[in-house]
Chains A and B, each alone.
Chain A
Amino acid sequence: MSLPTEIKIEKPSKERTGTPLLEINNLKQYYPIKKGIFSKTVGHVKAVDGLSLQIYPGETLGLVGESGCGKSTTGRAIVQLEKPSEGEIIFDGKNISNFTNREMRSIRTELQIIFQDPYSSLNPRKRIGDLLSEPLLFHKLATPSEAKKKVEDMLEIVGLPKSYRNRYPHEFSGGQRQRIGIARALILNPKLIVCDEPVSALDVSIQAQVLNLLKDLQNEFNLTYLFIGHGLGAVKYISDRIAVMYLGNIVEIAKTEEMFKNPKHPYTLALLNAYPVPNPHLRGRQRIVLEGDVPSPANPPKGCKFHTRCPIAQSKCREEVPVLTGVHHSVACHFPIN
């Protein structure tokens, strides 16, 4: 008996060319902390604190970092589910951060998001067919009969039988629901999809189905992804470039291969190192185990925010904030590795 083999698909290498599809400049998202009977604001959770990045057409940018570092907040700001406290978001050449609701509606269809939890993100009282056709009808992109056809096509594309359009979400497994989430995002023909941990809630064998599907769809429809993830394996598998976040900022960003071969930020190195490798022959290798917990984003450390856990911090790190520098491989560290 041999391993089930699958065909290799040659993926054209996607070079970053021309203008970015999405550009974020100095994004800040502060949430007020309120206390007392008058709900006085006593401070702010600095969920995202001056973040800048570019995403190029057709690429997948992976976004990784520990819980609470601001990945989902960044994703929500991109698809305009929340107004940022500060900063601009330029999509397809237009500054959408100060768009009115009406202006926003015109590009709503081009920016979509897939959520982590396939259970809570689908309205349990609606049939799949209605869930999928609603946005088409709302944006007047199809007549009811065209919409019905489109829903059937879409179900087929994500690998579900057409007849499923009459079913309710609870009749599906986790992997199937996530396929429905993908179909819903895809049906409007978007340019950019923010995938917020789309496989984290799924079983390993089902994760592979969904990751393969996302890759196939990207090739077929020339999609651009921001892929937010916890599991480093999945992020590496799907991303062309990876950005590492720590406490509301990007600390390093590089091409995937380069990032794994040559991490420059001590946090990136520790993160890559902490990930348990599914290969028992590699156990017992030297590991860098970071001490302590992630500090609170309500009260981040001064200077470099990582200095409280950094094994190589020096006095400069406690005082000066490092800036993200470098063209192809950027890092925000006063003493980058090699």
Chain B
Amino acid sequence: MEEYLLKVDKVQTVFKTGKGEITSVEEVSFQLKPGQTIGIVGESGCGKSVTSLSIMRLLGKHGYVKNGSILFNGKDLAKISEAEMREIRGNEISMIFQEPMTSLNPVFTIGNQMMEGIRLHMKLGKKEARNYAIEMLNSVGIPRSEAIMNEFPHALSGGMRQRVMIAMALSCRPRLLIADEPTTALDVTIQAQILELMKKLRSQSNTAIILITHDLGVVAEMVDKIIVMYAGQVVEEADVFTLFDNPKHPYTKGLIGSIPHIETHQEDRLISIPGAVPSLQNMPTGCRFHTRCEFATERCLQEQPNLIQLDETGEHKVRCWLAEEEAYVSRENKEVFV
């Protein structure tokens, strides 16, 4: 199984709070090969960011990975020492956040911040680090890059800051890039620039990418495969074409039907999923989606479904009793007719 760069297996992440532990992420699993891009989608609070922060081990004082493993290059990131993790963070794995201002330090110049990481991880001297930083800024399409090195973050526009963040994140040639809503705060024309840039860099360096977004348009444009999360769990996983053409989970179907596209006619009604996401403190028993699912049966109310494989390749997985029963029936039929 050496071909996978990252294997996330049944990860459970919890936070300690005054009222005991709360579980933000429950049994999240997925794999990623070098050069592959995976998208994580789902409603606000479903655990997308916590999943990525679990990989980076940036969960703060109160959060930790309680169960499961995160194999990166054969090492379990949930188990290695903090010193080892620091070596990996910003070097082999780097991350871009939604709001670049929160991760750029306002009191240091762009040049200072870029050179710090480069000198630390690439062991370059001051002059070489500076030249390399300028080269990186050029590669992400920043004009006047030498002058920008001496600017402070607030002097740059949102799109420019995000490009600086990308230049920083990619400067140590990471093998894995985690991008948490990298374009959500940007305008569509600037978003288009950033997405094109990420595609270019991906093809040049074979970096694997985890792309977190709530925008299914961005997902359709960028990723190879998708995991759909609901209330802290993966409810469906498939390659991007299968997920859009043949979604199996009622939540995924609702999600795809509820986006007005350019091709949606005005007379059409959007599919809407009734109700709202349950809170972590108040998870329903059985299938977590049953409170909003129009197909829910008695079994869905009682028993929690597992994430099961739907096809022989094991690429399409779903957590739903109905899909599981349907798959079972069609497999039975095949055996009868073949």
A and B together in one complex: yes
Binds A, one of B110-118, B120-128, B272-280: B272-280
Point out the residues of chain B lying under 8 angstroms from A291, CB to CB.
Answer: 193
**Bound: A140/B194 CA distance, A:** 53
Q: Which of A4, A233, A238 contacts B259 (CB 8 A)?
A: A233
Closest-CB distance, A2 to chain B (whole angstroms): 9
- A3, A174, A270, A279 pick with most chain B CB within 10 angstroms: A279
Inter-chain contact B261/A1, CB cutoff 8 Å: no
B201 at the interface (CB under 8 A from A): no
Query: How many interface contacts (CB-CB < 8 Å) are there between A and B?
Result: 156
Inter-chain contact B43/A203, CB cutoff 8 Å: yes
A6 at the interface (CB under 8 A from B): yes
Interface residues in A, total, Cβ within 8 A: 54
Point out the residues of chain B lying under 8 angstroms from A275, CB to CB.
Answer: 188, 217, 262
B244 at the interface (CB under 8 A from A): yes
**With A3-B271, A11-B266, A293-B157 known to touch, is A208 a contact of B241 (CB < 8 Å)?**
no
Interface residues in B, total, Cβ within 8 A: 56
Point out the residues of chain B lying under 8 angstroms from A234, CB to CB.
Answer: 260
Point out the residues of chain B lying under 8 angstroms from A3, CB to CB.
Answer: 253, 257, 271
B296 at the interface (CB under 8 A from A): no
Within 8 A of A (CB), among B182-241: 187-193, 195-196, 214-222, 240-241
Q: Which of B187, B217, B268 contacts A67 (CB 8 A)?
A: B187
Inter-chain contact B189/A205, CB cutoff 8 Å: no
**Bound: A241/B160 CA distance, A:** 33
B255 at the interface (CB under 8 A from A): yes
Inter-chain contact B192/A278, CB cutoff 8 Å: no
A150 at the interface (CB under 8 A from B): no
**With A233-B259, A233-B261 known to touch, is A277 a contact of B192 (CB < 8 Å)?**
no
Inter-chain contact B250/A1, CB cutoff 8 Å: yes
**Bound: A42/B157 CA distance, A:** 22
Inter-chain contact A1/B157, CB cutoff 8 Å: no
Point out the residues of chain A lying under 8 angstroms from B172, CB to CB.
Answer: none
A308 at the interface (CB under 8 A from B): no
Point out the residues of chain A lying under 8 angstroms from B240, CB to CB.
Answer: 280
Inter-chain contact B267/A11, CB cutoff 8 Å: yes
Closest-CB distance, A280 to chain B (whole angstroms): 4
A25 at the interface (CB under 8 A from B): no
Point out the residues of chain B lying under 8 angstroms from A173, CB to CB.
Answer: 276-277
Contact with B along A214-255 (1 / 0, CB 8 A): 000000000000000011111011100000000000000000
Cross-chain pairs A/B with CB under 8 angstroms, 7 sampled: A173-B276, A205-B273, A206-B272, A206-B276, A238-B266, A275-B262, A294-B187
Interface contacts beyond A206-B276, A280-B220: sample of 8 additional A-B pairs, CB < 8 Å, sorted by A: A205-B43, A205-B272, A236-B262, A274-B192, A275-B188, A276-B221, A278-B256, A289-B196
